[in-house]
Structure 1
Amino acid sequence: IGHDRNTSFGPDRKGDFFQEQRFVTVLDKLYIPHPLNENGLLQFQPEGGLYWKDYFDENFLDAVVWSAGASVREKDSKPVSLSAKYLFNRIRYPSNAEITQSVHQASAAVTMIQNGSIEHQLHTLLEWKNYDERKSLEQNAVFSDEARKDFRYGFGYQLFGQLNNAAAIYWNADWYKNDSNDIFLNYSDYESVLTSATGVIRISDRINQIFYGSFEYKEYDDRIFQFNSVKPQLDRIYAGGSLTEYRFTKTFSVIFSFRYVENTSTNVSQNYSGSDMKLSSRFLF
């Protein structure tokens, strides 16, 4: 159950209550022979999930997401190991069929463990996004007969540090490029640099606390926000929040979370800010 004060969709969206439900299934790990190391094993793990979000007052941007995928990683390969993952998401918006989409993601990573408590990871991502009904824009700003498609690629670095038995930190830095088949002004083509930091604290055997913050610098290739402009649109997106988990048992916990997002854009029509609060319960089977 949550309360949404996101103003990016207009004043009528301010102060809405919503409910979210998420089911995730991760199958038992399967071990298969390593093709390049006769004494090694690969850990294979399929997964699937279902998520939906529903606003109580109206059916605006209700989302239903089906996901399926699998990951494979080297088992007992230290200090350096390789991993890869594929994930498919089917995202349906019952109230807005135009943005219903299918998303394919493929990623790979190299992880190095240092001194047992520090972990470095280099990773790369490829993503294909296909819209069901949204059409691409031609050079004259007329919609074509071809469905809108986005291709995203990027790479990044993650640092994980275990400070002690009760605290850990994550730091990420990522770059990616979004390439769309929209021709008009290359309206959806942009580069993004995203950095984020997360702190995890175990306050007691029952209480865990997470704090996080991020900053994204998004520069569009050719999108302009006024006819006499010579510079493309530039967005600066700030986000932060916290999450508190109280574990009643090993399989049941209650989570309270808060999130705030703000976009400062050179295109003032794209400025927005929003926040939401959620009270959730989690069951493990």
Structure 2
Amino acid sequence: MEVFFVSKPIQYHTAKRIVNSRQGGVRDLIIFGHFTDGINFFEQVKTYDKSWRNIYYFDSRLKAYFFIFNTYSKCQIFLDSDYGKDCLLLKLMVFKSNTISLFEEGLFTYEKSLVNKYKTKYPLRTLIYKIFNLPVALGTSKSVSKYYVYDLQLFKRLRPDCYSKAEEISSGFYPTSNEIDLYKKVFNISEFPDSKKALLYIGPKFFNDVISLNDVNRIENEYQNLIFKPHPGADYSYAQICEKYSKINIIYFDNQIPVELSVFICNVNSLLCLIHHNSSVGMYLKNSSLRLIDLKHEKK
């Protein structure tokens, strides 16, 4: 019996990639829907994805973890975190003879310390974690036996502290055609941007960081369409982007599908270029033929 806990749509994809790389079995999916339209995402997955025995929804990580503790024993539990206080809850699951594995959580998986990422945003929480000597990086708690990652060599180089737990997701990141068809239903995508001779711009969180049309043209000037995929927490609107790029044909792809998967919806093989601001697409698509421009590194 295998149980997958996901707290983001992209983790749902990773869970399916792990399932795809393993032998058949009975599997439950638990969705912690704290993200935008989380309950709708749960309903869509439950309606269209028939690969799970049961699918459960929780609006609290704590409630979800206690459900796992009360419901499962002698099972393989796949989680997204053992950072900070999460490591204490994992001990409850291990108490019932469950085996705990983590799966990749984007760029954070390869960070040796999350304290530097969180100390400014959550100073008190970070201090408490330090006082109680709680884990400062993903995968370091004793409760975790395996860590499933996409890039085993990068993990070995950046995370020697827990490389012994690492196991590569052998099916890789790229979704199958069947998975793409499923995601179109799950994310309710009925019309798709025309990606012929197009640029795909994965927008930043803040409007002030959106690059000018002149900067776009310096990157590539033979495109016909600019597909703009806004950050899920963007502080700007469709109208602002249209005004900023009023002189060109812009397709505003405002859908909750993760940016890493929107590339495949836009047809990665026909895109001229992908522009982003230090997004994980730079890591996941580095072996593709697509030209990737990381604006954060371009400025350095």
- Greater share of helix: 2
TM-score by length of 1: 0.27
Larger Rg: 1
Greater relative contact order, per chain length (Cα 8 Å cut-off, separation 6+): 2
TM-score by length of 2: 0.26
